[in-house]
A = this chain, B = another copy of it.
Amino acid sequence: MSDKYHHGDLRNALLEAVGEIIQERGIGAVSLREAARRAGVSHSAPAHHFGDKRGMLTAFAGRGFEEFGQRMQVAADEVAEEGFQAQLGAIGIEYLRFAVERRPYFEVMFRSEMHDNTDPDLKTISHDSFGVLMSVVEAMGPEELGGAEPMHVAMGAWSTVHGLATLWLDGALSQFTDEDLFTLVQGVFDARNAS
């Protein structure tokens, strides 16, 4: 299949290649030419599918948000009967897990100078992801919220796990091992509920 003139699934192959490049050499190493090289195709082929470099990364971010949103939803649903606190915790853990397991997606998704964040599809899907968290928080009653604004509770949860994820990915937590990270987040959550 590799010596066919038509690749057959080049768009997907290129996006896979982007993920590999980021995983192996970091986000700065992404280029149309390198993606083409990895997909075994001429350097000008990517422009056919994505227009330009930004287009390629926008498509990549879209893929990421799709998987991300699904995972958030599944995580929230799985513990739906254990209460809202359990849902918040499950979403948080899954958020971190995604950041670690799917680092290339995570980085492109949240670095808006890399993609076209005015793209309507991307706006829709990223907004939907946040909606999973918001709908959990909005379903909470005043007693569970402790009288706080739903938005503040949601932002508090989001920023905490996002902060842990970015600190981890940026190497600021190099003192901890990979497994420590998840006991750490559990400890952070517990410390919060205790105070």
A residues whose Cβ falls under 8 Å from a Cβ of B: 26, 28, 110-113, 117, 145-149, 151-153, 155-156, 158-167, 170-172, 184, 187-188, 190-195
User: Chain B residues with Cβ under 8 A from A158's Cβ?
Assistant: 163, 167
Of all chain B residues, which has the CB nearest A148?
A: B191
Chain B residues with Cβ under 8 A from A167's Cβ? Answer: 110, 158-159, 162
Report which of B112, B171, B172 forms a contact with A171, defined as CB distance below 8 A: B112
Q: Identify which of B146, B147, B170, B192 contacts A156 (C-beta below 8 A).
A: B192
Q: Are B148 and A195 in contact (CB under 8 A)?
A: yes
Chain B residues with Cβ below 8 Å from A166 are 110, 162-163, 166
Q: Which of A111, A184, A188 has the most CB of B within 10 A?
A: A188
What is the predominant secondary structure among interface residues of chain A facing chain B?
Answer: helix
In Å, the complex CA distance between A184 and B155 comes to: 8
Q: Is there an interface contact between A111 and B191, defined as CB atoms closer than 8 Å?
A: no
Once bound together, how far apart are the Cα atoms of A161 and B184, in whole Å?
17
Q: Which residues of B contact A187 (CB under 8 A)?
A: 148-149, 151-152, 155
Please pick, from B113, B152, B191, the residue contacting A188 in the complex, using a CB distance under 8 A.
B152
Q: A155-B188, A162-B167, A163-B164 are in contact. Are A146 and B110 (CB under 8 A)?
A: no
Instruction: Give 4 closest A-B pairs by Cβ, nearest first.
Output: A163-B163, A159-B163, A148-B191, A162-B163
Among A117, A170, A191, the one with the most B-chain Cβ atoms within 10 Å of its Cβ is: A191
| Inter-subunit contact A164/B155 (CB<8 Å) | yes
Contact of A164 among B113, B159, B164 (CB under 8 A): B159
Greatest chain B CB density within 10 A among A146, A172, A187, A190 is at A172
Q: Are B163 and A113 in contact (CB under 8 A)?
A: no
CB distance from A182 to the nearest CB of B (A): 13
Pairwise interchain contact B113-A148, C-beta atoms closer than 8 A: no
Q: A170-B110, A184-B155, A188-B155 are in contact. Are A194 and B161 (CB under 8 A)?
A: no
